[in-house]
Amino acid sequence: MNTLDTLEVVPTGAALGAEVHGLDLALPVSDAIAQTLRDAWYEHLVLLFRGQDLGDDAIMRTADIFGGSQGSGAHSYFNRNAAAFNPHRVEGYPEILAVTNLDENGDPTLDNGGLGSHEVVWHSDNSYVEVPPAGSLLCAIDVPIGGGGHTSFNNQYLAYETLPAELTRAIEGRHQVHDSSRNSAGVPRPGVKLPEKPEDVEGPTHPIVRVHPHTGRCALYLGRRRAWPSNYVVGLPDNESEALLDALWAHATRPEFAWEHVWRDGDAVLWDNRCAMHYRTPIDPSRRRVMHRIQIAGEPVIAPW
Ligand code: OGA
Ligand code: MN
């Protein structure tokens, strides 16, 4: 049985992240424990639960603790192009995404049309949809010890609060168009034509700073970065948009804002897409890496201005 007495939240000591001890997410979680977990998530941005044995039903129930689930933008591209092999599909659980480096035959590979074994650049999940997920819960089922695929997270409240004054002024009232054409490993989505000029970029417009609905704090909200033409700042000449994004990304990805997680089987990590980004090192493509992910339901992005 889960009890509040055994629950312990231990901060990583880095700029974000905490490990939760004394909790089995496969067992029922009382309202009081659920509230404690949400408060810990809002305070630490990323929570790590080790030694979990979560089937997909338990993953769904865990999402409910933090606000329920929402489907992934990635699925919609594979659904629109039904001929493509969808490495993300989990039979019977349309809201769960398999994050794997396996091919159609179940063998590890570099490129499977999804994230494969690639390096994954800094990003916030699904910023390319109108209502991005509040968070994501990623559960390690089979990870290669010593085979790479370490995942880092960074604190975008801190990035915002430490911006040089001229950058804070430069982004006030500004919005960005978020390019939906490629996934976070840079792989074009099935059936998508890559943009050749800014007017071709398809995706929603979000404020560059967002307010977290539970903490009331402001965070930088950059989404992801690709070679031009991709995300751009609305209302600026192309060269000024690029220069501003260069400066913001250089600041937002400073190492002192980040914490790296090295995975073991049974780890479940929950992050907040509203105030943290994440990054993954490449994986040895000869080693299997299988995880299941669910996205926590989001709300429309709140601008501070
Ligand atoms: C994701 C993601 C990183 C990883 O699932 O959104 O970015 O470590 N995954 O696989
Ligand atoms: Mn991601």
CA–CA separation, 47 vs 162, rounded Å? 23
Below-50 pLDDT ranges, the chain: none
Look at residue 79 in the predicted model and tell me its pLDDT. Answer: 84
For ligand 1, residues with CB inside 6 Å are 99, 120, 125, 136, 138, 149, 151, 184, 278, 280, 293
Look at residue 80 in the predicted model and tell me its pLDDT. Answer: 85
Look at residue 151 in the predicted model and tell me its pLDDT. Answer: 99
Cα(185) to ligand 1 centroid in Å equals 10
Q: What's the start-to-end Cα distance of the chain, in Å?
A: 46
Cα(280) to ligand 1 centroid in Å equals 7
Give residue-wise pLDDT tens across range 155-171: 999 999 999 999 999 99
Cβ pair 37, 214 in contact under 8 A: no
Pocket test of ligand 1: the residue of 151, 187, 273 to mutate, having most ligand atoms within 8 Å of its CB, is: 151
Residue 266, φ and ψ in degrees, nearest 5? 90, 0
Cα(290) to ligand 1 centroid in Å equals 11
For the whole model, what pTM was predicted? Answer: 0.98
Pocket test of ligand 1: the residue of 101, 120, 143 to mutate, having most ligand atoms within 8 Å of its CB, is: 120
Q: Which domains are present in the chain? A: 8-296 (3.60.130.10)
The protein residue with its alpha carbon nearest to ligand 1, atom 6, reads 125
Of ligand 1's atoms, which has the minimum distance to the CA of residue 291?
10
Q: What residue has token string 């600026």?
A: 236
